[in-house]
Chain A
Amino acid sequence: MIDVRLSGDDLDLSTCYDFVQDPACGGIALFVGAIRNHNQGEEVTHLEFSSYDGMALKEMRKIAEAASEDYGLAKVALHHRKGELKIGDVAVIIAVSSPHRKAAFEGCAYVIDELKKHVPIWKKEFRADGTHWLNARP
């Protein structure tokens, strides 16, 4: 079972945790990605996510399906924020459940790694030295 969301509102950890709970699963892994106050030696004041929503949700679902298949996960919740975020705000939450812990840890890592490579969501950082779309330039 998979729950993917792209939300303009605050993400909720217990919603993700509740979704993946399963009596057949002894391991639940959670990853929370938050906005940090620095990048590449510069102070970050806030940031903004832009997203191609229709495709982003499809890509998120593909990743969750691949993770379920490859790691034998029972349930995957993948929630991502959009819009403007402040330092400390939660950008992404991933929750996965599996009968055993190793698959839960590895499956959770797979989901965030693949999300960062493929899902059409873009981060614009507002820093003291200007604004930057991350990864956009050589």
Chain B
Amino acid sequence: MSVTYQVQTFAAARELLGSPVSITLPRGAKARDLRQQLLVDFPALATLKDFAIARNEAYALPGEILEAGDELVIIPPVSGG
């Protein structure tokens, strides 16, 4: 069984990919799996210095298990202030 997630983008990631993007992962996939699959499906992401994954409005730890309906966002390096 697999789950398709909609992943939102902002700033430099939105310019590279548009928003949102769809990613399909096996059920039980973790945040680190999402990050790896994003780099496979969208190699342009590798041109960023780095990016994090946000899950439900907080930084996701690599080992966090994703659930259907999660709000997922690619977070490029931030530059507020």
Write the residues of chain A forming the contact surface with B, with a CB cutoff of 8 angstroms: 33, 49-52, 54-56, 58, 80, 91-92, 112, 115-124, 133-138
Contacts and interface: CB of A to CB of B under 8 A. Distances in A.
Given A115-B81, A122-B79, A133-B15, A52 B10 contact: yes
B58 interface: yes
Given A50-B10, A122-B11, A133-B15, A55 B54 contact: yes
Given A121-B78, A133-B12, 6 more contacts: A33-B81, A115-B81, A119-B78, A121-B79, A135-B79, A136-B77
Contacts of B78: 116-122, 135
B66 to A, nearest CB: 17
B43 to A, nearest CB: 15
A112 to B, nearest CB: 6
Given A33-B81, A52-B73, A122 B12 contact: yes
A120 B75 CA distance: 7
Interface in B36-67: 47-49, 54, 57-59
Nearest to A137: B49
Contacts of A58: 57-58
Given A52-B73, A136-B12, A123 B57 contact: no
Contacts of B54: 52, 55, 120
B80 interface: yes
Contacts of B20: none
Contacts of B76: 122, 133, 136
Contacts of B59: 118
A91 B20 CA distance: 28
- Identify the 7 closest CB pairs spanning chains A and B, nearest first: A121-B80, A122-B11, A136-B12, A134-B79, A133-B12, A55-B57, A135-B77
Interface in B1-57: 8, 10-12, 14-15, 47-49, 54, 57
B48 A137 contact: yes
